[in-house]
Amino acid sequence: MSSKRKHIGEKLSMLSKTVGISQTALADKVGVPPSQINRFFKGHSDIYSSALIEILKELGFDVEAKITKRLKSVTEVEHADPKSTHEVLNFLFDELDELGKQTYLSQLLWAAKLSSGDAFPKKIEAQIKNEMNLI
């Protein structure tokens, strides 16, 4: 039994329970026997990629949209031609996921406060913290 397959199956099983979809209902929607879903969730068998894509879609993941977004991102990176440091920073920031953006802002705030000592404006600090909460 593949540990990676078991790990993914267990996570999808937990997600289906969290979302409130039973294995039987999921099997009906995907078009496979409930026993196949059960064996896959336990890591005892593989599942066709088309069935996996349908399972993911039923659990709220649009694989095609994720692939399209990633392709667009790679294409944009390859063809980016920023003209200023400001454009480079905006481009890089836009490419980050939520955690990356929060981490970036947190580190930026830390560096700015460190370099300015007590002279860092509280209004700007509050604005950066507000942005972090909005992400």
* 69 assigned to some structural domain: no
Choosing from 18, 33, 64, the residue where a domain stops is 64
What is the predicted pLDDT for the residue at 56? 93
| The overall pTM is greater than 0.85 | no
Q: Do 91 and 47 belong together in one domain?
A: no
- Grouped pLDDT means (10 residues each) for the chain, 135 residues: 79 92 94 94 90 92 87 72 79 84 89 83 84 78
Q: Do 86 and 35 belong together in one domain?
A: no
Q: By the 8 A CB rule, do 111 and 120 touch? A: no
Q: Do 86 and 39 belong together in one domain?
A: no
What is the predicted pLDDT for the residue at 38? 94
What is the predicted pLDDT for the residue at 77? 62
What CATH number does the domain containing 35 carry?
A: 1.10.260.40
Q: In terms of residue numbers, what domain contains 19?
A: 3-64
Structure tokens at 15: 């997600």
Q: Do 41 and 91 belong together in one domain?
A: no
Terminal alpha carbon distance of the chain: 40
Q: By the 8 A CB rule, do 135 and 98 touch? A: yes
Total domain count, the chain: 2
